Each structure stands twice: as structure tokens, then as C-alpha cells.
Structure 1
């Protein structure tokens, strides 16, 4: 349990720190004064004053913050956040999420570098499964399925349904010769899905790992946005939402499968943090970006008191949602 808590704190802390570091870099690029960049929260354990920024390490290892001049106050002096143009402020606000997306790509690229990128060549064809019975063997390369050329393992997965029995016309290559086989998927009791019984060979390469990391990040992002859409339209239940308590439990389970599985989980959490932060929900960066766009359209800033009240209400609603999610997490643990 202690190991799980330490790993969870490290993952959450690291992802929040790189988020705040994104704001820090964007502020520096935009020539906004960063008063303090802190790792952790609570009482200061160590601090060093730089030329323009105070760097501090705080007692509670739960994230950090980037404090900019004029960010939360009516300050339009030189070097303040408010004194900058609209595009600069949007860039600074979005930079945290951008850094989390970048972190997701890095983590997933490392995962694929370690385990290899799946190819269309087969490393394993399971005996007594449809593909083996049709004559396909390890080392064969899948060329097309039902007349559609496949060049990635994901295209193979997309071509084969796992929720119903179907027959596929598979063209595969062995050495220089092409063969054709009719393969009917079979229900696998162990995995609870329909399979033909093949697994891909993997190859490791620097550029292919980065490409796969980017592709997987986009795939995860599309899935997350679709899930948010389902929640908004009522097609998905809020009972399925998971908060920090639930994630700690998942971290503990994932850690049993090793570093690669943990890195993949950290990547998913990082991308969740990025997308959630960009949502137009009051108190989040996405909402503040929306207010800048409103300012752009109407030609003048939104009344600071009204904007502050909206963010306060939004924060209160977020806290209520957090309590609700934590309650569901506890029920799931029991």
C-alpha cells in the first residue's frame, strides 16, 4: 500500500509540475514576470531567489504552481500577465496542457521504444485457433483483409471484429509468395471476445517509436473527447468517472505489471489532465481562454468582478463534483 501511495504521489506530482513548467516557459517567452515557481505545496522547505523568479521546494509533494505577476489581480504594469496581448495570454494559459500533451507523447514513445512497435508480420500464431488451422504460421506477413490493404497492426485490429463471429478473406505473404485463406473468428472464453489467434512481431526504432507515440496520443485523445461527449449527452454515466482515490487503486494494480504498464498509465493521466484543463469550465484554463476570446470579440475585457464570481462558482461546483467522484471511488474500493 505504501508503495502504491508513493508511486501515485510521484506520478501526480510529476504531471502537475510539468504542467506548471509549461506555464513557466510560456510566461518567460512572453516576457511575463514569474514571481515564484514551486514544486510541491504547503510550507517552504527550500527556496532560492533567481534574477527574476523565486524557486521553491515545499513540504507537501502534491503538485506545484507558477505564480505570475498580475495573473489574479488588477495589475497592468509592465511585465504583468494582464499587460500582454490576447494571443500571448492564450499561449500562456494553454501552455500547461500543451506540455502535458508533449509529456504524453514522450511517455508513449518510450513505451513503444521499450516494447517495440507492432508490425503486420506475425510473431505468434496460436495452435488450434482459426488462423493456424487455415495454414498461417509465425513469420507470415498480413497483406490485406477482405480486399483492404493493411500496413499497420491497428488496421488489422480494426478489420477484425471482436464482438461477433465473422469470416475474413486474408491475404498473407510468406517469403516472396502470396497466399489467400478464409478465416472464421472463434469465441475465446479466456478473453471474452472473438479471435483468430495471432500476435504481431515488434520492432524497436527511435523514429518509429516517436511516430507510434504520436499516433497513440491522438487515438487516446479522440477516445477521451468522445467519452466527454457521451457524458454531456447522457450516453455515459457519471458513475464511470474516476478521481484521485480511484486512480491510486489503478496505480497499485498497474504497478504489478511493471514499469511499461505504469508509464502507459501515467501517459493516459497526463493526457486526461491536458484535455480536462482545456474544457470551458469556470476556474480552469480553458474557461479563462474563453473569456479572452469574448474580450477579443466585444473589444473590451469582461468585468473582472463578474469573471471572478463565475470562476468562484465554477470552482465550488468542481469541488462538489470531486466529492461525488471520491464517494464513488470509495464505494468501488469496498
Structure 2
């Protein structure tokens, strides 16, 4: 059920802006848009505004921008088929451009909401190798085995680099002073990587 809901949301996020891109650019270059619909299937609501019929349909799995002369020849000078080549290309490309913009906005929002993990420790798991080695919340991991780290991904990669279980040296910045801690990583079957019991902010 959750998968179906997420699929519908994905369709709405990608298809509606895609069609909106076609719609906006079509209007800008003077193409007559007969109907702009959000959703597919049975009609729920519609309103005529100027030459365009705006509609909302039952199934939120898409939408469409119906332009004059898009699928057939039309004598209307404002029909899609009678526009200049560059105008046609602009209308067609607008959908893809909107998809890219939408994807970027979604990623920016996701990162803003969830944040980007840093290399500063938020917590140290109790009775973990990290706690035994003396690591503390607030420590900033600046290097693992002398390899400089500036973010959480780099910290994880360096800890997981050697799966033999050998001790590793984690260098942290604590209150402006660098300290070295020797840690014995443990392999996590659940995470499928070497872990020491730390979480970053």
C-alpha cells in the first residue's frame, strides 16, 4: 500500500511539473492551449478561462497539456504545427527542464530538512569500541589512520576500508586540541560494514 502511495506521489511530483513546463512555454510563444489537466480519468472539476479549459481529474497519476495542432494539422496560425522550429523545440524541451528543476528543488528541500551529516560526533554508543577508546560527543573527527576527513561519508569510508578488524587510529579535535584514539572496529552483519559505535550530527 505504501509503495502504491509513494508511486502516485512520484507521478505527481514529476509529471505535473513536466506538463506545466509545456504549458507555460506554449503560452509564452503564443501556442493555443485547449486544455490543461491535472490528473487523468473521470473529470472532477473544470473551468474555462479564456481559450483554455482547466481541469482536475480523479486519478492523480499524470496530466496533460493539449495544444492546438499538436497531434494533427491545423489551419490556426497559433497552432503548434504552425509555429517556428525554435518555438516547437522550446515547448518540447520545457517539460524536461522542469523535471530537472523539480528534482533539484526536491533534493534541496530534503537536505534542508534532514541536514547533511558532518564529521562532528553527535553521540557515542554505550559499551562500544568508540566509548572504550575515549571518544566523546562533540569530538570532530579530523582524520582516520592519518587520512584527513571533512565529512561523515569520509569517516565511514575510512573506518570500513580495512575489514580485517585491525585497530585504527582516529584523530579528533576536542576543544581546539587534537587527540589520537586507538579504536578496535567491529563488523556489523546488519549494516554490512565495520563500525565503532559513533553517530555524527
TM-score bin (small chain): 0.7 to 0.9
SS in 1 for 2:40: strand
- Structure 1 49/119 Cα, relative in aligned 2: closer, same or farther at 3 Å? same
Deviations along 1:200-227, whole A, 9 cap, x unmatched?
A: 11xxxxxxxxxxxxxxxxxxxxxxxxxx
Q: Higher Cα Rg: structure 1 or 2?
A: 2
1:173 counterpart = 2:187? no
Give 1:232's aligned residue: none
Structure with bigger helix share is 1
Name the structure 2 match of 1:154.
153
Give the corresponding residue for 2:122: 123
Deviation at 1:199, TM superposition (A): 0.9
Cα gap change, 1:134 to 1:14, in 2 (>3 Å): same
CA distance in structure 2 between the partners assigned to 1:146 and 1:160 by the alignment = 9
Q: TM-score, normalised by structure 1?
A: 0.51
In the TM superposition, residue 194 of structure 1 has moved relative to its aligned partner by: 1.8
2:61 corresponds to:
62
Gaps of 5+ in 2: none
Contact 1:129-1:186 within 8 A present in 2 as well: no
Partner in structure 2 of residue 9 of structure 1:
8
Quick check: 1:44 aligned with 2:52?
A: no
SS of match in other structure, 1:71: coil
Shift of 1:135: 2.2
Quote the offset at 1:35 in angstroms. 1.8
- Contact 2:13/2:102 (<8 A) preserved: no
Higher share in strand: 2
Q: Which residue is 2:27 aligned to?
A: 28
Distance apart, 1:122 and its partner CA: 0.7
Partner of 1:197: 197
| Residues 120-153 of structure 1: per-residue CA shift (max 9 Å, x gap) | 1110122333333332211100112344433222
| Corresponding residue of 2:71 | 72
Match of 2:186 in 1: 186
- Deviation at 1:28? 2.5
Q: Indicate how the Cα distance of structure 1 residues 34 and 86 shifts in structure 2: closer, same or farther if over 3 A, else same.
A: same
Q: TM-score, normalised by structure 2?
A: 0.79
CA distance in 1, matches of 2:162, 2:71: 52
How does 1:1-334 map onto structure 2 within 5 Å? 1=1, 5=4, 8-75=7-74, 78-161=77-160, 164-165=163-164, 168-201=168-201
Report SS of the residue matched to 1:118: coil
Displacement of 1:14 after TM fit?
Answer: 4.3
Q: How big is the alpha-carbon RMSD for the aligned residues of Structure 1 and Structure 2?
A: 3.0
Deviates more, 1:74-83 or 1:146-155: 74-83
Cα distance, 1:95–1:160 mapped onto 2, change above 3 Å? farther
